[in-house]
Structure 1
Amino acid sequence: MLIACVAYQDGRKLGDITIDKISDYVQKPECFVWVALKDPEPAELDAMKEEFGLHELAVEDVRSHHQWPKIEEYDDSLFAVMHTVERKEDGSLDFGEVDVFAGPNYILSVRMRTAHGFKKVRERCESEPPLLKQGSAFVLYALMDDIVDSYFNVLESMTAELEELEDRIFGPQEQAEARAIIEELYRFKRRLVVMRHHVGPLLEGVGKLMGWRVPRICEGMTTYYKDVYFHLERIVGAIEGRREMVITAIQVNLGMIALADSEITKRLGTFAAMFAVPTMIAGIYGMNFEHMPELHSKYGYPIVITVIVVIEIMLFRFFRRAKWI
């Protein structure tokens, strides 16, 4: 679906144009065309290929979908693949793809399987004519910057979720609750790993736009691409940091479970020790020996009971001081 097809001259918007007029404006050195597509049909891609003279391999990458983030150079044009990340209400992550063709006089963005729009990016670019005069290089930067900034928003919401899970670790837990927390932490870790796979490769791609050999269409914009690169570095570092936090949280939760089990075992051992004393004494007097202390005394029974009660009180006070009960 065609979202927009706009011609610009010297950083100013000329107006919307039809697809068949694209080649007329692309041939003018002072003009460039910005086309936006969403989930295009094969025929639409073929039309764009013909109008802009797109490289066959890059077009095939768009048709095949599910490309990893990358930036490739074809003659005097660039082909960039970026992934969008959106967080659903249930906490799961939804990934889309944005393919961008950037040439000397054109920019073509193709959104696939994503609701992430670039209306604000277009408004931002059109509000800065001096930068928009840079043409496709500035628009490519603006698109990248918008996608990378959206990663920060996703990470912030995931950080809040992780903090909530950490609070639950140190709260009162049933056995089922402890197991549920571990499962949620593991699912959280998996989401971080998947996000790292969708975000990380773009770091290498952006590095090509600010290295020792900058593509011709990006000359003069290296400072802006460095800004995107540093933001990506922060995001990748934050993802790794959150993953370490999750691993630590899982270990802490397992330690809390082991500690709770130890407390239960200790309490059971305490009651077992207290029951062991009367059981032992009763067991001794249950043996059918003829000569036993106080066996024939009329005070034998109360004496034995008194001894049992005294020992039990002493044990109770000892375990109480030790905070075992």
Structure 2
Amino acid sequence: MLINCAAYEDGKKLADLPISSIREYVSRPGCFVWVALKDPESSDLEALQGEFHLHPLAVEDATHGHQRPKLEEYGDMLFCVLHVLEMDELGNLEVGEVDIFVGPNYVLSVRSKSRIGFLNVRERCEQEPHLLKNGAGFVLYALMDAVVDRYFAIVHRLEGELEQIEDRIFTERGTARANIEALYALKRKLVTVNHAAVPLLEAIAHLYGGRVPQVCMHIQEYFRDVYDHLERIVKITDSVRDMLTTAIQVNLAIISLEDSAVSKRLAAYAALFAVPTMIAGIYGMNFEHMPELKSEFGYPLSLTAMVVLDIVLYWRFRRARWL
């Protein structure tokens, strides 16, 4: 589906275009066309492939989707794949994809499986004509910057989830399994963020250092800024992942401590029952010559001994915090 198609020259928007008029503006010096598609059919990409002379391998990747974040160079054309991360109302992490074709006189963005669009990016670019003068390269930067900035919101929300789980670990009882499940679910989300961010570090590094593609010349500092943001995101996710690993170990240690406390409590109660059982067992052997067997006070004395010994044991167990 076509979202937008417009021509720009000298940092200013010339007009909104139908697909059939793209060739007229692409051939004009100093002019570039910006086309945005959402979940397109293969026929839509084939039509634009002819207009922009896109490389067939890049078009094939965009058609099939499910690509790893990357940046590839085909002659004077750049093909960039970005993962778009979105959090739904239930806290589940959804992964979309944006494929961007960038040439000297065109930008084609193809958005798949993503609810949030990039109209705000287009508005931002149009409000900064002095930067939009740099052409298609600046549009590539603006799209990359928008995608990477969305990662910050996701990472901060994951940090909040970890803090909530940590609070439950130390304040609630009987939820150890639920805490472990929540921690592993959080770990999967962090892995998803890492899979989206880490491959882009190397890709974006090629846009501001070494042999910079022609379309990105004169705006290398902007791509370096995106690289810095992405590096911060990776460091935050690594830090959260380390804290998560520690939280899992603490949760397991608490489970072990609780099991040990239960074992001690059961052993203490078993000892309290064992003493009367031992005394009763001895006097239940019915030997003829046993002390106090025929005494009038034998029965109350044995009961008293049982109670006194149990009281002493109970006091000792309480001091040792077994009970």
TM-score, reference length from structure 2 = 0.96
> In the alignment, does 2:191 pair up with 1:193?
yes
What does residue 271 of structure 2 align with? 273
User: For residues 255 and 55 of structure 1, what CA distance do their matches in structure 2 show?
Assistant: 56
User: For residues 132 and 303 of structure 1, what CA distance do their matches in structure 2 show?
Assistant: 101
The one-letter code matched in structure 2 to 1:183 is E
What does residue 133 of structure 2 align with? 133
User: For residues 299 and 80 of structure 1, what CA distance do their matches in structure 2 show?
Assistant: 96
> In the alignment, does 2:244 pair up with 1:254?
no
What does residue 91 of structure 1 align with? 91
Alpha-carbon shift at residue 133 of structure 1 (Å): 0.2
The one-letter code matched in structure 1 to 2:254 is M
Q: How large is the RMSD of aligned CA atoms in angstroms?
A: 1.3
Instruction: Please give the secondary structure, in 2, of the residue aligned with 1:100.
Output: strand
Question: Matched residue pairs, number?
Answer: 323
User: For residues 230 and 179 of structure 1, what CA distance do their matches in structure 2 show?
Assistant: 38
The 5 A counterparts of 1:1-325 are 1-174=1-174, 177-325=175-323
The one-letter code matched in structure 2 to 1:155 is V
The one-letter code matched in structure 2 to 1:282 is A
Q: What's the % identity of the aligned pairs?
A: 58
User: For residues 95 and 55 of structure 2, what CA distance do their matches in structure 1 show?
Assistant: 26
The one-letter code matched in structure 2 to 1:120 is N
Alpha-carbon shift at residue 57 of structure 1 (Å): 1.4
User: For residues 220 and 196 of structure 2, what CA distance do their matches in structure 1 show?
Assistant: 24
* Contiguous gaps of at least 5 residues in structure 2: none
Deviation per CA, 1:15-69, whole angstroms, max 9, x where unpaired? Answer: 2122222122222222111111111122211221111111121111111211111
Alpha-carbon shift at residue 245 of structure 1 (Å): 2.0
User: For residues 170 and 20 of structure 1, what CA distance do their matches in structure 2 show?
Assistant: 64
The one-letter code matched in structure 2 to 1:227 is D
User: For residues 261 and 165 of structure 1, what CA distance do their matches in structure 2 show?
Assistant: 21
Alpha-carbon shift at residue 242 of structure 1 (Å): 2.0
* Contiguous gaps of at least 5 residues in structure 1: none
The one-letter code matched in structure 2 to 1:298 is E
User: For residues 186 and 211 of structure 2, what CA distance do their matches in structure 1 show?
Assistant: 39
The one-letter code matched in structure 2 to 1:122 is R
Alpha-carbon shift at residue 195 of structure 1 (Å): 2.8
Alpha-carbon shift at residue 163 of structure 1 (Å): 1.4
The one-letter code matched in structure 1 to 2:284 is G
Instruction: Please give the secondary structure, in 2, of the residue aligned with 1:35.
Output: strand
Instruction: Please give the secondary structure, in 1, of the residue aligned with 2:261.
Output: helix
Structure 1 runs of 4+ off > 4 angstroms? none
Alpha-carbon shift at residue 140 of structure 1 (Å): 0.4
User: For residues 19 and 243 of structure 1, what CA distance do their matches in structure 2 show?
Assistant: 46
User: For residues 304 and 112 of structure 1, what CA distance do their matches in structure 2 show?
Assistant: 83
User: For residues 139 and 229 of structure 1, what CA distance do their matches in structure 2 show?
Assistant: 16
User: For residues 127 and 119 of structure 2, what CA distance do their matches in structure 1 show?
Assistant: 12
263-272 vs 189-198, greater mean Cα deviation: 189-198
Instruction: Please give the secondary structure, in 2, of the residue aligned with 1:170.
Output: helix
User: For residues 301 and 173 of structure 2, what CA distance do their matches in structure 1 show?
Assistant: 45
Alpha-carbon shift at residue 295 of structure 1 (Å): 1.6
User: For residues 275 and 43 of structure 2, what CA distance do their matches in structure 1 show?
Assistant: 89
Alpha-carbon shift at residue 116 of structure 1 (Å): 2.2
133-142 vs 300-309, greater mean Cα deviation: 300-309
Alpha-carbon shift at residue 248 of structure 1 (Å): 1.6
312-321 vs 263-272, greater mean Cα deviation: 312-321
